[in-house]
Amino acid sequence: MTLLSTRGLSRNFGGLKAVDNVDFDLPAGEVRALIGPNGAGKTTFVGMLSGRIPASAGTVSFDGRDVTMMPAHRRIRAGMAYTFQITSVFSRLPVAENVALALRWRTGDDLAATDRQVAEALDRVGIADRADQLAGDLSYGHQRLLEIAMGLSQQPRLLILDEPTQGLADSEIVDFVALIRGLAGDMTILLIEHNINVVMQTADAITVLNFGSVLASGTPSEIRNNAAVQAAYLGTG
């Protein structure tokens, strides 16, 4: 079953075609990596998927519904969660309260349910011991993990991670890879990532964008051996 799809999705900024006529299909339960050189249109494309950037043309469908005109907050309630390329935590609030705010629309006034799900999300990303610490006092890497916990707490059908390993130490990247492997199957994951080793270790399939268009899609092995991808992105052509 296809959970997310686009047809002819495009975004122009003046005369610049940031995303150009992209057809994209993401099956439910898959870990898909979206890669490409800087300026390829990845963040713009994901912004249109999540409803944060309006499309100039084309459609976005999620779980069988046309969501092209649906605002970002309604897509969240429909089952999407999106973590930013730059951290967006509430720095003056404790870690646990950040997660509680992210899921309170779903749990309402049920404090026991909120507390339980906050604890589960923090434990899953490995920062449960920092629940009472101010988010602004966390290292950058731990703030990224907090953002992922905020996404997970919403129990999404689709989790979109934009550059999640940026700022993580090598040991934290190892833990992140383990986290994604653990989540695989529980939800569909779209991973925008520059660390090609992380991509190759976690993705079931990879889509490569270049100059706003799809250059190639396939398994990690197929992408690694694709001559056009090697020339445009992997630097081995």
Rounded Cα–Cα distance for residues 235 and 99 (Å): 39
Residue 207 has pLDDT above 50, yes or no: yes
Closest CA to 142 of 106, 177, 174, 95: 95
Sign of the Cα torsion 47, 98, 121, 131 reads: positive
Per-residue pLDDT band at 84 (split at 50, 70, 90): low
- Greatest CA separation found in the chain? 57
- Residues 6+ away with beta carbon under 8 Å from 43: 85, 162, 192
Q: What are the residues facing 19 on neighbouring strands? A: 11
Model-level pTM? 0.90
Task: Answer for the pair 21, 176: CB distance below 8 angstroms, yes or no.
Answer: no
pLDDT tens column, 2-58: 999 999 999 999 889 999 999 999 999 999 999 998 889 999 999 999 999 999 999
Per-residue pLDDT band at 237 (split at 50, 70, 90): very low
Query: Could you tell me the domains of the chain?
Result: 1-79+157-237 (3.40.50.300), 80-155 (no CATH)
Which residue has 């390829």 as its token pair?
A: 40
- Residues 6+ away with beta carbon under 8 Å from 96: 118, 119, 122, 131, 132
- What average pLDDT does this structure show over 166-180? 88
- What average pLDDT does this structure show over 179-198? 91
